[in-house]
Chains A and B, each alone.
Chain A
Amino acid sequence: MTTAREREAIQHDFQTKMNEDELLNCMRCGFCLPACPTYIESGMQEKYSPRGRIALMKAVKDGLIEPDEEVERSLDLCLGCRACEPVCPSGVKYGELLEDARDIINQNKKHSLPVRMLRKGVLDGLFPHQNRMINVSSLLGMYQRSGLSKVARKIGFMELFPESMATMEKVLPSVPKRKEMKHRLRHFEPDIVKKATVAFFTGCLMDTMFLETNQSTITLLQKVGCEVVVPEGQLCCGALHGHSGEKEKAKQMAKQNIEAFEQVQADYIITNAGGCGAFLIGYDHLLKDEPEWADRAKSFVSKLKDISAILVDLDFHHQHLRLPDQIVTYQDSCHLRNVMRTFDEPRTLLKAIGGVTFKEMEGADRCCGSAGIYNIVEPDMSMQILDHKMEHVKETKAATIVTANPGCLLQMKLGIEREGLTGRIRAVHIVDLLLEALN
């Protein structure tokens, strides 16, 4: 519930803070409608479309309507997948508008106590601290290794949570031991003649729950001739904060990351998570109002590259790659595709593997419904999207679904579990599959 006073404050901030030029830039042509998953899945309701959302934001700014529950609902239901951006001929920066609007609403709202606790605990207390991330992840690891997880599953503890969460618990990867996470090496020599020096952005989730994938990434980089440095002091990219209306926190994290990477003279900064990459690439916009950071942010952003892009640049796909005969399909990471604009490279790499028949699924470019914490806060829409996604997966008869982002990876695993296909279909991160193919 939003109180009258909160609404007034929100409206006021819309008037003073929303970027009017960007709102006007939308000429309401509607070219973005067919690309928007929530428009399609809601049975073509304009209020759940990009054009409708922009119109609502503008109307709140213009004072035509109040920021009521319906307006919030419309914004809440947005996946933030940004599929509306590459198709917009006017170049409307929808992602920025959404972030600003969410920030305003969040800053002016007193959340209910449990929500506040959760936000505070997770967004302030956890993600900005790699140490604590390691602790939580190790708790999870202990929970898994001790057999407690089996017990919890048996007594149905997880059934207290939304259905998606309960299933999600089953598909979480086994977390590496705390020791492995804490004592990681920070410098790796290339296996062949050096072609570039790269700094690796590990990502908070990737460096805990998906540590193995990070190791595979480094190994692949070494194989193509990269000297790899893992700068110390780097943090979570801040995407979860930025996307859920905690802009200030996100800014602090951005600055610390920029500082950490300035300590390395790298040609490129490499990420292996589309979601992080897309947020990192927006650091210059995030810090646009802070002149002393503008250039530093720009230089950071200009070096960013996704792992699949650098692998293609350095001819990884011409190496001898082989897997047992199988059909493989690829689910785009929305942010890798729509923001980093990287979508050909992963496909080029997969097609280069001997034994692999690459089959494009229908709507591979459409969001899988994971979208950060969307699958937890909007389970109904998320599961509806996922179920449609799984239909398209099944049509390809693929044995392996490849993704390029941890959130998508978990969501695809969840989809496999929900469909009862565990054991028959697997979901993997692209770098893990590539390493498998190389060995």
Chain B
Amino acid sequence: MIDSKIREQLVAIVGNENYDDTISGRLVYSYDATPNHQELPDAVISPKDKQDVCQILKVCNLEKIPIVARGSGSNLCGGTCPVEGGIVLLFKHMNQLLEIDKENLTVTVQPGLITQDMIKQVEAAGLFYPPDPSSMKISTIGGNISENSGGLRGLKYGVTRDYVLALEVVLPNGEMIHTGGKLAKDVAGYDLTRLFVGSEGTLGVITEATLKLIPKPESKKTMLALYQDIEAAARSVSQIIAKRIIPTTLEFLDKHTIRAVEDFAQIGLPTDVEAILLIEQDGPPEIVARDIQHIADICRSEQAVDVTVAKSDEEAEKLTTARRTALSALARLKPTTILEDATVPRSEIATMVKAINDIAIKHNVKISTFGHAGDGNLHPTCLTDVRDKDEMERVEAAFADIFAKAIDLGGTLTGEHGVGVMKSPYLEWKLGEAGIAVMKGIKEAIDPNNIMNPGKMFAKELKKRVVIGE
């Protein structure tokens, strides 16, 4: 509950229409796309502009009220679930594209802008913003930056982090800072821009961002390679990269995922194969043609049963759009869908795919796998039912094994979905005690009252590391 005096102050800042503490108004911001997490905030506030944000943070810092910044709530780590109550901050009034700078090749936006809307406007200006998370139709730039989201084009072009040039951030004490600039080079002090990228709303509120753009590639081609053997598909991925070809996109989908996606999208994906690779290359037409030929040869020599190239841009678009629905499409199969985000070095992708299959058998759970294979970033997805307590325990054990295996292979717990509440108990496995201590130190220096998204990133209780093979 927010004290009535404080409530008055907050209402005075944003106006009655932007302050909602009705029960249903709070309920609809009590969740995100993470299964099994729900907690009511005390109020939902929509600041009109950055000045409002500064004032709100000042009040909350003084009164020690938690603040959860929220884009579209599509994150998969419990990142916007207000686990300790407090205020959910919405950016629906701060969703404008402010400027496309054609001389410096940058775009400046407010945090609530929808990723796809921005990409459309940028492309209409003949430029290109590569990070394209599958959720881009609804995700916001503020959310993308805070989770350091990746996408289908990550293999060649990198992730959100690689495109953030400058940020405007309101700190918990209500002060505003500007990091970076429209600069190709900048070594003035610590790289705070990078610190805030991926900070999951635990350090401050992003109120403006300047992102790097690149020229739009001249052409692109999209192809599908079909396999009757999952590991053959995974081997193709490692082979393509070992042969020094870097496609834009190199996505992996297993049998169950293909079927679920086809069920929804109905675009004629083959449902009688064990796995497919969706591959895209862009650039000058001659180079694209050569690379696609090369890749097709590699796939065939790794026992692809068929390789087809999309005939038109529309057909290609249909394929990638369908791929973006994979997670939600899988969700139709069972009441609860738990997806993980383990990432390994690219060379280990075949080993990891095999390990996931073995772990699923060991714990007697059903795991479908898809993901950004080219990045070594897989999404093993478990279809289950939260009401089945016994199975839920087995699922958790299976995922613990998967994390452990990924780390053993030199990988990480999460490639792009973030820590939030979901991975926080495991974070130490990756960082070690000293690593966690450094991060905690940073958090305390910037947010001494722990008002920014409390309960995320640093868990109260840690999981014991499982050792595979024992």
Contacts and interface: CB of A to CB of B under 8 A. Distances in A.
B222 interface: no
Interface in A47-73: 47, 49, 51-52, 55-56, 59, 64-66, 68, 70-71
A46 interface: yes
Contact of A31 (B25, B32, B138): B138
Interface string B80-118: 000000000000100000000000000000000010000
A27 B328 contact: yes
Contacts of A21: 335
Contacts, number: 93
Interface stretch (A85-93, A186-194, A211-219, A304-312): A85-93
A25 B138 contact: no
B27 A64 contact: yes
Contact of A74 (B24, B264, B327): B24
B27 A28 contact: no
Given A44-B92, A70-B22, A90 B72 contact: no
Contacts of B40: 64
A120 to B, nearest CB: 30
Given A44-B92, A88-B328, A25 B335 contact: yes
Interface in A149-200: none
A34 B28 CA distance: 16
A115 interface: no
Nearest to B261: A89
B27 A90 contact: no
B347 interface: no
Given A56-B27, A70-B25, A24 B33 contact: no
- Interface residue tally on A, bucketed by range: 20 to 34
A146 B51 CA distance: 64
A340 interface: no
A27 B138 contact: no
A90 B92 contact: no
A27 B28 CA distance: 14
B335 A30 contact: no
Contacts of B92: 43-44
A70 B92 CA distance: 21
Nearest to A66: B23
Interface in B28-60: 28-33, 35, 38, 40
A64 B25 CA distance: 13
B419 interface: no
A29 interface: yes
A29 B264 contact: no
B167 interface: no
Interface in B312-334: 325, 327-329, 331-332
Nearest to A87: B137
Nearest to B114: A34
A89 B138 CA distance: 14
Contacts of B23: 65-66, 68, 70
Contacts of B424: none
B74 interface: yes
Contact of A90 (B29, B138, B329): B329
Contacts of B24: 47, 56, 65, 68, 70-71, 74
Contacts of A281: none
A59 B31 CA distance: 11
Given A44-B92, A91-B264, A59 B331 contact: no
A33 interface: yes
A47 B35 contact: no
A137 B305 CA distance: 65
B74 A30 contact: yes
A101 to B, nearest CB: 14
Given A33-B72, A91-B264, A27 B33 contact: yes
B73 A47 contact: no
A89 B325 contact: yes
A90 B331 contact: yes
Given A29-B74, A30-B138, A56-B27, A91 B332 contact: yes
A86 B167 CA distance: 37
A189 B30 CA distance: 61
Nearest to A92: B332
Q: Which of B24, B327, B331, B386 has the most CB of A within 10 A?
A: B24
Interface residues of B, number: 35
B31 A25 contact: no
B336 interface: yes
B337 interface: yes
A55 B73 contact: no
B378 to A, nearest CB: 19
A24 to B, nearest CB: 4
Contact of B327 (A29, A46, A49, A51): A29
A194 B27 CA distance: 59
Contact of A52 (B28, B138, B328, B336): B28
B27 A59 contact: yes
A28 B33 contact: yes
A293 to B, nearest CB: 27
Nearest to B265: A89
Contacts of A92: 332
A30 B27 contact: no
Contacts of B264: 89, 91
A28 B31 contact: yes
Contacts of A89: 264, 325, 327-329, 331-332
Interface in B332-367: 332, 335-337
B336 A28 contact: no
A213 to B, nearest CB: 32
A51 B263 CA distance: 21
B331 A25 contact: yes
A374 to B, nearest CB: 21
A91 B135 CA distance: 17
Which residue, of A28, A44, A92, has the highest number of chain B Cβ atoms within 10 A? A28
A91 B335 CA distance: 12
Contact of B25 (A20, A30, A47): A47
Contacts of A29: 33, 74, 135, 138, 327-328, 331
B368 to A, nearest CB: 14
A311 to B, nearest CB: 23
B33 A47 contact: no
Contacts of A31: 135, 137-138, 325, 328
Contacts of A51: 28
A55 B329 contact: no
Nearest to A35: B137
Given A24-B335, A43-B92, A30 B33 contact: yes
A27 B27 contact: no
Contact of A55 (B27, B325, B332): B27
Nearest to A88: B328
A81 to B, nearest CB: 19
A242 B76 CA distance: 36
Contact of A47 (B28, B74, B332, B386): B28
Interface of A: 20-21, 24-25, 27-31, 33-34, 43-44, 46-47, 49, 51-52, 55-56, 59, 64-66, 68, 70-71, 74, 88-92
Sorted nearest first, the 7 A-B pairs with minimum C-beta distance are: A89-B328, A24-B335, A89-B325, A70-B24, A52-B28, A27-B331, A46-B28
29 contacts: A24-B335, A24-B385, A24-B386, A27-B327, A28-B32, A28-B33, A29-B327, A30-B73, A31-B138, A31-B325, A34-B114, A34-B138, A46-B28, A47-B24, A47-B28, A51-B28, A52-B28, A55-B30, A56-B28, A65-B27, A68-B23, A70-B25, A89-B264, A89-B327, A90-B328, A90-B332, A91-B263, A91-B264, A91-B332
Given A46-B28, A55-B27, A56-B27, 11 more contacts: A27-B337, A28-B31, A29-B138, A29-B327, A31-B138, A43-B92, A49-B28, A71-B24, A89-B264, A89-B331, A90-B328
Interface of B: 22-25, 27-33, 35, 38, 40, 72-74, 92, 114, 135, 137-138, 263-264, 325, 327-329, 331-332, 335-337, 385-386
